Amino acid sequence: MVEGVTSIVFAQVVKVEKRTAVVRIIYFFGLFALLISFRNPLISVTIDHLIALLALLLVVGYSIILLVLIGRNSFHERLGHLSNALDAIGAGAFFGLFLVFPAEGIRDLALVLAEIYFFVPIVISSAKVKPSHAISSAVFSFGFSGVVIVLHLLINGSSSRMGYPVYIPGVVLLSGIAMWVTTLTFDRLLREHMVTEDLARSSRRLRMAMEIVQISVMNLGEFVNNLDRISNILSSGAHNQAKSIEHIATSAENLKAAMGGITESTSRSTNSIKQTVDVSNQGNQTMQRMIAEIADIHEVAEQMDASLDLINEIADQTNLLALNAAIEASRVGDESTGFSVVAGEIRTLAERSAETSGEIGRLVKQMEKVIVIGGESSNEAGEIFDRINKDLSQYSDFVRSLNMAVQEQLAANRAVSDSLDKIHDVTLDNSKAADRVRDVIGELKKEVSKLKALVDGKLVEIPLISSGTAKPLSSR
């Protein structure tokens, strides 16, 4: 409250000083113009002109500085006393100059204008609502007007010719005392009014504040209710999410187990295919050896065929010899009967050898055909083994690649499983946090209910304060 009154009074002082500075400049320029009209400086420059010019420069210069300080918000309240002193000095200077002028023309008007300015600071002090300024303006005006009157009396030696100006200091002093009393009254009334106004304003502000608080409590209650619904939704979502994460984690574990089984199966398949490839390679090598052996048998059969040709040639020659022997035996006659028998046996043996050789030749030819067919089949079987070996090699590479892919997938599944475990932990923490938030919101709802009840109780009793019959608030 005191700060409010002080700030209001200071603002009033600044406003009055600003206006007074402008009036001061205009007023003293008018007094200086009157002085020049009495004594033209173009004709002769006297001490009166210098005194008037010095007083004008002092008052106008101070007024300009004061306006600059006010414009920069650098005005200090103590400058008001300095303004009163300079006003009294300026008014005293022109008052003294106009006293010595002869009573002719508008000299009396100029004298009255100079005398009036002794009262200007006193009257202005009432607008400032500062008793101290009223005292300082009265003291300065009384002092400088009295000094001028005393100097004038000392110089002229008589007060009968001065007239009413001799009473100016007394009138100024009485005016100052009256204005001081008036200013005190204004100050007391202002402070009392400020107290009453502050109480009324405080009551209105309190009522408005309580209404705002009530609205804020209602909004807070609605906000807490919305927050409660949101927390319930979040809590339910967190629990459902935890269950979903557990289900996903179980599925991930099952998938990891399945991928582990696939890995073992692909590993066994790789080993089996490797063994099959080894057996296929061994069979291919055996088939190659068999093809080589069949080729050797074919060569042996060809050699047997050549031997049979030689045997047939020998049989033919033997048969030819037997025929010659028979011819010779028939030529000799009976003496050659034994020789003839031997020749017949030889011929019979040659024929049997030829038949046997032919039979063997046929068998060898059949065996050659069989060997050729077997060699061709063996070659085809070798080619088939080669193709099987290549296919098994490709299939082995495929299974190996599949095994590597399954291993990578298994590693990825492990990483996913670890991530799911972490997410599951975070989800559980979120679920617990959601439960705690819900509990806190429940407590907050209780506190909001208590605050709402308390505010409602206060709002009922606020109008009683302004009526002066306020009752003490019941404790809750």
Q: How far apart are CA 192 and CA 48, in angstroms?
A: 50
pLDDT for 345-392, tens place per residue? 777 777 777 777 777 777 777 777 777 787 777 777 777 777 777 776
pLDDT at 111 over 60: yes
**Percent of the chain, pLDDT > 70?**
78
Non-local (6+) Cβ contacts of 379 within 8 A are: 291
In our burial notation (b when 16+ CB lie closer than 10 A, e otherwise), range 19-37 reads ebbeebbebbeebbebbee
Q: How far apart are CA 360 and CA 368, in angstroms?
A: 12
Q: How far apart are CA 89 and CA 59, in angstroms?
A: 9
Q: Which residue has the tokens 């927390």?
A: 231
Q: How far is CA 50 from CA 34, 62, 106, 427, in A?
A: 15, 18, 21, 97
Non-local (6+) Cβ contacts of 123 within 8 A are: 179
- Per mean pLDDT, which range of 182-186, 197-201, 263-267 is the poorest? 197-201
- Is 17 within 8 Å of 75 (Cβ atoms)? yes
Non-local (6+) Cβ contacts of 204 within 8 A are: none
Structure confidence at residue 173 (pLDDT):
87
- Is 443 within 8 Å of 458 (Cβ atoms)? no
CATH code at 223-466: 1.10.287.950
Q: How far apart are CA 407 and CA 410, in angstroms?
A: 5
Three-state secondary-structure class, residue 357? helix
Tokens of 370: 């069989």
Q: How far apart are CA 68 and CA 79, in angstroms?
A: 13
Tokens of 55: 């007083």
Cα torsion 28, 33, 36, 38: sign: negative
pLDDT for 157-181, tens place per residue? 655 456 677 788 888 888 888 888 8
pLDDT for 284-310, tens place per residue? 777 777 777 777 777 777 777 777 777
pLDDT at 248 over 50: yes
- Is 68 within 8 Å of 30 (Cβ atoms)? no
Q: Which residue has the tokens 């007024």?
A: 63
**Percent of the chain, pLDDT > 90?**
4
Tokens of 59: 């008052």
pLDDT at 118 over 80: yes
Q: Pick the residue with more confidence: 91 or 49?
A: 91
The C-alpha angle 399, 401, 407, rounded to 5 degrees, equals: 100
Q: How far apart are CA 171 and CA 72, in angstroms?
A: 38
- Per mean pLDDT, which range of 21-25, 39-43, 402-406 is the poorest? 39-43
Q: Count how many Cα atoms sit within 13 Å of the Cα of residue 35 in the half-sphere of its side chain.
A: 28
Q: How far apart are CA 88 and CA 92, in angstroms?
A: 6
Write down how long the chain is: 476
Q: Count how many Cα atoms sit within 13 Å of the Cα of residue 283 in the half-sphere of its side chain.
A: 17
H or E stretch covering 52: helix 47-71
- Per-domain boundaries in the chain: 2-162, 223-466
Tokens of 439: 């509990």
Closest CA to 18 of 56, 69, 57, 86: 69
